[in-house]
Amino acid sequence: MKILILGGDGYLGWPTAMHLSAQGHQVAVVDNYLRRSLCREENVEPLVEVPNLHQRSALWESVAGCHIPVFIGDLRQWDFIEDVFQRVAPEGVVHYAEQPAAPYSMLNRSAATLTLRNNLEVTANVIFAVREFCPDAHIVKLGTMGEYGTPDIDIEEGWLDVQRKGRHQKFLYPRQAGSLYHTTKIMDTDLLWFYVRIWNLRVTDLMQGPVYGIFTQENRTDENLYPFINYDELFGTVLNRFVIQAVADYPMTVYGKGGQTRGYLNIIDTLNCVRLSLENPAAKGELRILNQFTETFSVNQLAQKVQRAARAMGFRAEIATVENPRKEAEEHYYNPAHTGLLDLGLEPQFLTDEVLSEMIEFAAGHKNAINPEQIYRKVPWDRQ
């Protein structure tokens, strides 16, 4: 299949590009290095320096013999996206190209405006480009479990059947985000659903939980193929952050009561979920929504897991309760469905002590690169 990966330089984009090309798909990647430039502006760096996309593509070609063309440009620009879609003529489009950090979106007005404009304009341009140049292509869009929030009833897989006065209708499951970033994802879903109805598009919206991990089947041969590992408060995700905090002898920053529960998954599972979605496409005129995570944990449970694995390796791995900079429920009901991807054939990689030990060992090998000042700046979510 000819697959275009938008956001191909990112934490998930580059590992996905290698994975799909190793599986025999013809892959091209697009990025404008937005994530890299926002990190620089905010003075945070990933744990390990990541070569640029051209360098990684050349390296992957020498390792695996797969050629991945690289397009550098801003997907908000119609001239650019038009040119890329015409040249690639994709059958599948993986849309990762957004500002994906909730804390960044809550930093100040300019970060909020950038997040809003970037995410919605890219999604709209992707929809317009598919309609114009490849109307049968399947869009696989990364959404987030955060779109649902933490309602006091079970979370279904995208849709809710509502019975009222003897009649019934299926609606998008009610969504109530906890950050501006998550709100842009809700708006993306609404845009996609609108154009699925109007233009018969073929879309899978993957409601993904926080991803953890570094290693995939494809990157083990060369550290230069590893993804970004951010451990700062703005761009890092919680488990990756706890691992690095444990190694840096920085007490793990549990926000408030620590009962915040979410669905998590290994980066290897992300690649498999995206591949399974592409290989089993949604029908024309269908918005298929799949909840993409494999296990649920509270923040306390995650910290305790990291503590156990790190202590077994000789680290002190203390846990601290810090004032919660976010506005969120710290204890709540959480029971989301997630059978769709298992039905497509996903075989989950669970968060075992072995998986954690490997991550801890990697972080320990780069301990000197950890800058403790990056870890926690306490960005208050109600400041804007």
Ligand X SMILES: NC(=O)c1ccc[n+]([C@@H]2O[C@H](COP(=O)([O-])OP(=O)(O)OC[C@H]3O[C@@H](n4cnc5c(N)ncnc54)[C@H](O)[C@@H]3O)[C@@H](O)[C@H]2O)c1
Q: Which residues bind ligand X (CB under 6 A)?
A: 7, 9-13, 30-35, 74-76, 96-98, 100, 118, 122, 142, 144, 208, 210-211, 228, 237
Minimum CB–partner distance for residue 193 and ligand X (Å): 17
* Burial class for 79, CB neighbours closer than 10 Å (0-12, 13-18, 19+): exposed
- With respect to ligand X, which residue has the nearer C-beta, 182 or 305? 182
The one catalytic residue in 115, 123, 144, 150 is 144
- With respect to ligand X, which residue has the nearer C-beta, 83 or 136? 83
Minimum CB–partner distance for residue 84 and ligand X (Å): 10
CB closest to ligand X, residue no: 10
- With respect to ligand X, which residue has the nearer C-beta, 33 or 128? 33
Whether 16 is catalytic is no
The one catalytic residue in 96, 148, 183, 185 is 185
Whether 185 is catalytic is yes
- With respect to ligand X, which residue has the nearer C-beta, 297 or 315? 297
Minimum CB–partner distance for residue 179 and ligand X (Å): 11
Minimum CB–partner distance for residue 274 and ligand X (Å): 10
Whether 378 is catalytic is no
- With respect to ligand X, which residue has the nearer C-beta, 113 or 136? 113
The one catalytic residue in 181, 226, 250, 264 is 181
Active-site residue list: 144, 181, 185
